[in-house]
Amino acid sequence: MKFSSIVAIYFLFFSASAFVLLPFGVKTSEELGEEMVPGQAESAPHHFDLKRHLIKAAVLAAVLFAIYYANWTYGWVTPDALDFYH
């Protein structure tokens, strides 16, 4: 597998991981007992730590990419195994 392919596939896993992890670990102002800013949505997080979120996404993406790469190397699941109609 080319290095450029590795980077591209990892970036896809990273993007998906960052999106999937968004609702986890954030608390609203109401949950923390803080006052809301006028016009603030009730579901808005009180404090969003972008650096921590991106680190979590990077770790999850690395794990998912490692599984993907191992499957690509050893051929555990092939396209033929996913052909449900023939």
Spacing of C-alpha 72 from chain mean position: 21
Region of poorest pLDDT, from 4-13, 24-33, 50-59, 66-75: 24-33
**Would you say the pTM of this structure is higher than 0.85?**
no
CB proximity list for 70: less than 8 A, separation 6 or greater: 76
Residues 21-60 have pLDDT tens digits of 998 988 888 888 888 888 888 888 888 899 999 999 999 9
Sorted by sequence, the CB contacts under 8 Å of residue 36 that are 6+ apart come out as 29, 30, 42
Residue 37 contacts by C-beta under 8 Å, 6 or more apart in sequence?
Answer: 29
Per-residue confidence (pLDDT) for residue 35, from 0 to 100:
87
What mean pLDDT value characterizes the chain? 92
Is residue 77 very low, low, confident or very high in pLDDT (cuts 50, 70, 90)? very high
